[in-house]
Amino acid sequence: MNLLLEGKSAFISGGTRGIGAAMCEVFAREGADVAFNYNSRDDLAEEVKSKIEAHGRRALSFKVSVTDRVGMKKTAREIVEAWDGIDILVNNAAVNKGDNFATTTDKSWDWVVDTNVGSLFAVTKPFYKQMIRKRSGSILNITSIGAIRSLPTSVHYATSKAAMIGFTKCLSREAANFNITVNAIAAGIFDTDLGHSLPERLLQMHDFWVARQRLGRPSELAEFAAFMVSNRNSFMSGEVVIVDGGAVT
* Structural domain contains residue 148: yes
Domain region containing 97: 9-243
128 among known catalytic residues: no
- Res 64: pLDDT: 98
Catalytic residue among 27, 36, 62, 157: 157
pLDDT digits (tens, 9 = 90+) for 102-125: 999 999 999 999 999 999 999 999
Those residues with Cβ within 8 angstroms of residue 161's Cβ, 6 or more apart along the chain or in another chain: 94, 116, 143, 144, 146, 147, 186
Q: Is residue 3 part of a domain?
A: no
Residue 24 placed within a domain? yes
pLDDT score of 207: 62
Considering the domain boundaries, does residue 153 fall inside one? yes
- pLDDT mean over 242-248: 77
Q: Is residue 170 part of a domain?
A: yes
The dihedral sign for the CA sequence 84, 66, 96, 166:
negative
Residue 85 confidence (pLDDT): 94
Whether 2 is covered by a domain: the verdict is no
Per-residue model confidence (pLDDT) at position 189: 79
- The arrangement of strands across the sheet holding 240-243 comes to 59-63, 33-38, 9-12, 88-91, 137-144, 180-187, 240-243
Mean pLDDT of 77-101: 94
4 domain-assigned: no
Q: Provide the pLDDT confidence category of residue 193 given band limits of 50, 70 and 90.
A: low
| Position 243 confidence tier, pLDDT thresholds 50, 70, 90 | confident
Number of domains in the chain: 1
The SS3 assignment for 31 reads coil
CATH number for position 47:
3.40.50.720
Pairing of strands 33-38, 9-12: parallel
Tell me whether residue 154 is exposed, middle or buried, using C-beta atoms within 10 angstroms of its C-beta: 0 to 12, 13 to 18, 19 or more: buried
pTM for this prediction: 0.92
> Does residue 138 belong to any structural domain of this protein?
yes
Q: How confident is the model at residue 248 (pLDDT cuts 50, 70, 90)?
A: low
Percent pLDDT > 90 in the chain is 78
Q: How many CB atoms lie within 10 A of CB 177?
A: 9
Please give the Cα distance from 14 to 2 (Å, whole number).
28
- Whether 249 has a pLDDT exceeding 60, the answer reads no
Task: Quickly state the pLDDT bin for 66 (edges 50, 70, 90).
Answer: very high
